[in-house]
A and B are shown apart, each in its own frame.
Chain A
Amino acid sequence: DVKVTQSSRYLVKRTGEKVFLECVQDMDHENMFWYRQDPGLGLRLIYFSYDVKMKEKGDIPEGYSVSREKKERFSLILESASTNQTSMYLCASSLGRRGSPLHFGNGTRLTVT
């Protein structure tokens, strides 16, 4: 089974801090994704990556950046955390073939105070 591991389950940070959310997958998947999940809004795509050192903006990239130095690891960075970034963050990976499903981690619930 594919395993997608997010480094923290719960995180509490202060406004203005730089925050790193880490995600590792163990199945040599090409594609990796970061979504945020908010009640009533479903999942919204922040950034995704098709290959090492490649990144593409999703629907809501403002206030975020990403890093993919190795194929198995995809990091989400909040350059200066704000209270409106309090949310559940979900990392996912996929094979990269058409119709491939996404495999999700268990999520990181981030609270910015």
Chain B
Amino acid sequence: GDSVTQMEGPVTLSEEAFLTINCTYTATGYPSLFWYVQYPGEGLQLLLKATKADDKGSNKGFEATYRKETTSFHLEKGSVQVSDSAVYFCALSDHADKLIFGTGTRLQVFP
């Protein structure tokens, strides 16, 4: 069945460092892809999405490109801030429009 694999955390960075969180997927058909973020004590919020191959989603300085050839949707940010510390989830929507999530990657940014 469909699945999402993302890198294990925690990812620990200094402020202003470059961030990459890897995400790959397995799916039949052409799923939409998402990144969600969960700040401490809160529910998940949509960070960005892409609905077809080569689309780039972006928001708050984060970017991810839908790469069909490598079945990937890696999250990147050029300069992280302490306030970016959170758990990041990669997800895909399957043929029935349900979201399938990865296990999450915790990001810790230190000043």
Chain-B contact segment, one of A11-19, A40-48, A63-71, A75-83: A40-48
Residues of B close to A110: CB separation below 8 A: none
Inter-chain contact B101/A94, CB cutoff 8 Å: no
Among residues of B, the one whose C-beta sits closest to the C-beta of A40 is: B103
Size of interface on B: residues with Cβ below 8 Å to A: 21
Cβ-Cβ contact count across A and B, 8 Å cutoff: 53
B98 at the interface (CB under 8 A from A): yes
- Greatest chain B CB density within 10 A among A4, A94, A96 is at A94
Size of interface on A: residues with Cβ below 8 Å to B: 25
B43 at the interface (CB under 8 A from A): yes
A60 at the interface (CB under 8 A from B): no
Shortest CB–CB separation between residue A52 and chain B, in angstroms?
Answer: 17
